[in-house]
Amino acid sequence: MHNKTVFDNGLRVVSEQVPHARTVSVGIWVDVGVRDEHDLINGCSHFVEHMLFKGTEKRSANRIAREMDVLGGMTNAFTSKDATCYYGTVLDIQLPQFIDLLADFFFHSAYALEEIERERQVILQEISMIEDSPEEQVHDYFEALLWGHHPLGNPVLGSREVIAHMDRPKLIDHVEKFYVPDRIVVSATGNIEHQAFVDLLGPFFSSQPCREQGVAERKSPQELPPVKRCFTKQLEQAHLALGSYGLPVTSRERYKLMLLNVLLGGNMSSRLFQEVREKRGLAYSVHSYLDSYSDCGYLAIYLGVDPATINESLAVIKGEMEKIAGNTISADELSGAKDYGRAGLFLAAENLESRMIRSARNELYFGRHIPFEEVLRELMKVNSEDITELAQSLFTRGLTAAVLGPVTDNEVDWGIFDSP
């Protein structure tokens, strides 16, 4: 059973009861991320996420870590382009202690100067880790080209220069501006009764003051002309990320897009996996993926290849995209994609953390709970003509591409995607 309560200050609480469970997964979601940052504070959301674990008036950073371990569950946090989340899964009988801990560091973090300096070094090492992982770094380059000067084009971690100058006033200002009740959703799934959960949260969350003044609305990014660029680096492989603008997460065509992604490169039987890896042996890793926000999104392809075969790989990719846009989807292929999507939905439903995340995202994006039955019903409605029409629309916009590896723009035949 799914329930929702809105406190007088605007904070939302959503919960889903799973009676057979012995644990509860809880997440505090803040509707703020990279897209809410300007260039001079890029990485601030992520820096704040780190700092919330670094001590309060009641608890030192070490004590917070020890209490998390004593609870015996799992606690973590993440920052994305449009949200920040603090979450954990604990035994149902330990939920009161966990909420006390979450609320303490969420509302009362000290932002001690020595901890800021220490965490600055940790984040700089995290940036170095990405720079040493070209299969991850290439996506940052791709998004920077795709979104241009819009904040969505900035990395979650921020740049070295900005992080080096991040200070306590900037972090505090960020929290005061965005960590306000009407931008917060508390989501829980597991062996939990909704009203009891609301009563447990009340003393910590219901008394938080409402926003005194509004925050500027998020600006939607513009769709830019396609850009293709090589970022030369001495590596063994050439890493490619290429794609086109997609759909907002709330689009009525999102189920068509989901199936298009599955057919293109979303699993082992997908066209790209079979053609690029299985039939030609051009890549070990190749897949397509989706990234969607409230007002925009994209469909992209990633692969890592031998630099000598990069143009052959691009030609294969173009060919498979043209085939899908040319109404070549068989009934068996579409049925298999639907089965894959349905299986993924139910497999995720077996995981409390996944269900908690799903409930929170539904509230943030749709303002309502979306039953599994509704998802399945809409998924089953999609036909091959729907997917073909969407593919034609998306793939004719032109592709933006980033290549990271031992190649230059002169060595890549970008004209492959311009020829008929």
Could you tell me the CA-to-CA distances from 298 to 136, 243, 419 in Å, in that order?
17, 7, 23
Other C-beta atoms closer than 10 Å to the C-beta of 414 total 16
Other C-beta atoms closer than 10 Å to the C-beta of 203 total 11
Amino acid identity for residue 301 in this structure: I
| Strands 74-79, 84-91: pairing kind | antiparallel
Annotated catalytic residue, options 16, 37, 49, 143: 49
Q: How far apart are the first and last CA of the chain?
A: 53
44-51 helix and 168-178 helix, angle to the nearest 10 degrees: 90
Residue 252's φ and ψ, nearest 5 degrees, are -70, -15
Q: Is residue 189 a contact partner of residue 350, using CB atoms and an 8 Å limit?
A: no
- Residue 49 among the catalytic residues: yes
CB neighbour class for 420 (10 Å; exposed up to 12, middle 13-18, buried from 19): exposed
Closest CA to 51 of 106, 8, 2: 106
Tokens representing 341 are: 């999507």
DSSP for 236-258 reads SSEEEEEEEE---TT-TTHHHHH
Question: How far, in Å, CA of 146 to CA of 227, rounded?
Answer: 7
Q: What does the H/E/C string look like for 144-162?
A: HHHHCCCHHHCCCCCCHHH
Residue 280's φ and ψ, nearest 5 degrees, are -115, -15
Q: Is residue 264 a contact partner of residue 288, using CB atoms and an 8 Å limit?
A: yes
Residues marked as catalytic? 49
